């Protein structure tokens, strides 16, 4: 994949349950492609992606190894505790170096000076997706006081049923990426599906749409879908 199409954002204006996201002004608008960070490869000790912090052999510049903490609470339910984890209770985003190494591993060439912007967009979209998850969880009759994200799985090649149906009516437009997020609802696991679409940029600023909804794995999720149809917020 060339450097022009190796980004990890999310754009478009299709889905009914979607949220439109726009990073701060001045952020470059990269071309959409599936996320290079394979969220399916997780360390079972801390549920974090196994991404090296070492410099790549072909790398020309020094990239930061600092990792930004998200606002997303992290559940370790069912996984052994990593003693070096320092009791961290939120998810930690990949560093620019890890992000670059993930791109290199997948053969997705990219300019090194674009990595910082790509990481910012990646983190921005995850924060937006979590906000949508919380809105869905707010529809629950018996609300859980602390929703946590247990794990996430990238599924860029698996088209969700909703995305497939929508593509029949919008000129064949399909999401360029998909994630399944597994949420801990006070001991109950709930799967969320997130479809990522590309939307036209507004000037030099990228715009993204995320279609976030609970997977129809349970009756509660079906009820939540029905409630959201009449939700005015």
Tokens representing 217 are 């794995």
CA angle (224, 225, 231) in 5-degree steps: 80
Residues 85, 79: Cα–Cα separation, whole Å: 13
Structure tokens at 202: 């507004």
Task: Tell me the CB-side half-sphere exposure of residue 38, using CA atoms within 13 A.
Answer: 15
Q: Which residue has the tokens 């996201």?
A: 21
- pLDDT digits (tens), the chain, 233 positions: 222 233 333 332 333 355 555 554 444 444 445 565 665 555 554 445 577 889 988 889 999 999 999 999 998 764 444 433 444 689 989 999 998 888 888 777 778 888 998 899 889 889 999 999 999 999 888 889 899 999 888 888 888 888 888 889 877 788 888 999 999 999 999 999 999 887 777 777 777 788 999 999 988 888 888 888 877 66
| Sign, Cα dihedral of 173, 174, 177, 181 | positive
Q: For the whole model, what pTM was predicted? A: 0.75
Tokens of 225: 């879908």
pLDDT score recorded for residue 82: 45
Task: Give CB contacts under 8 A, 24+ apart, made by 83-89.
Answer: 85/45, 85/46
User: Tens digits of per-residue pLDDT, 54-87?
Assistant: 998 888 999 999 999 999 999 876 444 443 344 4
* pLDDT for the residue 200: 73
Residue 57 confidence (pLDDT): 83
């Amino acid at each position: 994949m060339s450097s022009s199409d190796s980004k990890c954002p999310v754009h478009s204006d299709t889905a009914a349950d979607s949220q439109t996201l726009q990073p701060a002004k001045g952020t470059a608008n990269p071309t959409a492609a599936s996320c290079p960070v394979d969220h399916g490869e997780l360390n079972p000790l801390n549920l974090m992606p196994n991404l090296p912090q070492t410099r790549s052999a072909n790398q020309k510049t020094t990239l930061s190894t600092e990792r930004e903490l998200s606002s997303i609470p992290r559940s370790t339910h069912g996984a052994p505790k990593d003693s070096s984890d320092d009791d961290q209770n939120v998810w930690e985003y990949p560093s620019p170096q890890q992000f670059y190494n993930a791109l290199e591993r997948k053969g997705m060439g990219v300019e090194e000076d674009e990595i910082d912007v790509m990481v910012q967009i990646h983190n921005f979209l995850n924060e937006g997706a979590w906000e949508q998850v919380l809105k869905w969880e707010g529809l629950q009759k018996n609300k859980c006081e602390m929703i946590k994200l247990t794990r996430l799985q990238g599924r860029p090649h698996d088209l969700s049923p909703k995305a497939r149906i929508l593509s029949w009516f919008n000129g064949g437009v399909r999401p360029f990426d998909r994630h399944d997020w597994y949420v801990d609802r006070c001991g109950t696991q709930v799967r969320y599906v997130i479809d990522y679409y590309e939307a036209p940029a507004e000037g030099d600023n990228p715009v993204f749409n995320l279609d976030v909804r609970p997977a129809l794995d349970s009756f509660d999720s079906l009820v939540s879908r029905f409630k959201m149809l009449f939700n005015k917020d």
